[in-house]
Amino acid sequence: EAGVTQFPSHSVIEKGQTVTLRCDPISGHDNLYWYRRVMGKEIKFLLHFVKESKQDESGMPNNRFLAERTGGTYSTLKVQPAELEDSGVYFCASSQPRAGPPDTQYFGPGTRLTVL
Amino acid sequence: AQSVTQLGSHVSVSEGALVLLRCNYSSSVPPYLFWYVQYPNQGLQLLLKYTSAATLVKGINGFEAEFKKSETSFHLTKPSAHMSDAAEYFCAVTGGSQGNLIFGKGTKLSVKP
- Spell out the residues 6+ positions from residue A101 whose beta carbon is closer than 8 angstroms to its own: B32, B51, B52, B53, B97
Taking the C-alpha atoms of residue B82 and residue B112, their distance in angstroms, rounded to an integer, is 9
What is the percentage of chain A residues whose pLDDT exceeds 90?
84
- The reported pLDDT for the residue numbered B2 is 85
- The reported pLDDT for the residue numbered A1 is 65
Q: What share of chain A is helix, strand, coil (3-state, %, to 5)?
A: 5, 50, 45
| Strand boundaries in B1-113, DSSP class E | 3-7, 10-14, 19-26, 32-38, 44-50, 56-58, 64-68, 73-78, 87-94, 102-103, 107-112
Q: Per-residue pLDDT averaged across A49-71, rounded?
A: 93
Q: Which of B44, B47, B89 to mutate to test the interface with A (most CBs of A within 10 A)?
A: B44
Query: Is A102–B52 a contact, with Cβ atoms under 8 angstroms apart?
Result: no
Average pLDDT, chain A: 93
CA distance A57 to chain B (A): 10
- The reported pLDDT for the residue numbered A69 is 96
Q: Which chain B residue has the Cα nearest residue A100?
A: B97
- The reported pLDDT for the residue numbered B97 is 56
Tell me the chain A residues in contact with residue B90 when contact means C-beta distances shorter than 8 Å: 43
Per-residue pLDDT of chain B (113 residues; tens, 9 = 90+): 789 999 999 999 999 999 999 999 998 788 899 999 999 888 899 999 998 778 899 999 999 999 999 999 999 999 999 999 999 999 999 866 567 899 999 999 999 99
